[in-house]
Amino acid sequence: MASDTFHIGGDLTVRRLGFGAMHLPTEPAADREAAIAVARRAVELGVTLIDTAHLYGGGANEELLAEALHPYPAGLLITTKVGVARTGPGGEWRLDGRPAILRDQVEQALRRLRVERIELLQLHRIDPETPLADQLGTLRELQLEGKVGRLGLSEVTVAELGQAREIVDVVSVQNRYNLLDREYEPVLRACEAAGIAFLPWRPVAAGVLGARAEIATIADELGATPTQVSLAWLLDHSPVILPIPGTARIDHLEENLAATRVTLTSSHRERLDRLAAEQARA
């Protein structure tokens, strides 16, 4: 059985099934209180990896997590992302990896999360209009200043991961990936080879009707839900996968985290792998 923990960068230990905070509402007051309750319940249930980003409400999501969880319990990792900013012509969100923007967003994150150092900082997207060396060089400078511990990437190709690793030590990759959406399988394999954590966003499979029906059938056989089967497959598929399912509801949170108790038989794995392969060919 695969371990339920992973050592990011070789030394930062987290439980593999984490929580994505993107869906937590920050307003109005009633919704905000419910969101705080969800974040606190996640930690109560043993979550040690929570993912957020500057993009999520322009930092409002970071502030929400600090309100809910600070002072943080020992062993809790809150990772955030930078590199998307409201700097478009009309003030709209756009990829922006200019050094001044990245540095400012990190400074804001430190203040909003109420920490002196972000243990894992991820570049939300590579900005094609800014040299990669400038983007990662800025994050490396922040590392040397002690404001950032470890660096990760999001939504990258194998080639981009390789280029980045020539500049900095990359300890995590966050790409779209699930049982029925395996476009980034080559990136996952590259992460496996290098011991890099792979955090799939949108980790719950949502394929065509026939595929969903097969997942539901397997779930019934296991006494689980389709969501739990999707997450259990991810945990079983690779030891470097750290799913971060998100929700704004405590019942869904508890359902997600219970996926660690679902054990796939070899027959179930074969059926799910075959289903995934069929979807890839479709």
| Contacting residues for 77 by C-beta, under 8 A, at least 6 apart | 8, 12, 14, 48, 49, 50, 119, 120
> What is the helix (H) or strand (E) element at residue 24, kind and residue range?
none
Record the tokens describing residue 178, joined without a space: 């699930």
CA 219/CA 23 separation, integer angstroms: 25
Catalytic residues: 56
DSSP 258: G
> What is the helix (H) or strand (E) element at residue 230, kind and residue range?
helix 226-237
Record the tokens describing residue 155, joined without a space: 């939504």
Question: Angle at the Cα of 203 (from 232 to 251), degrees rounded to 5?
Answer: 75
Record the tokens describing residue 176, joined without a space: 């779209």
Residue 223 · residue 265 · CB < 8 Å: no
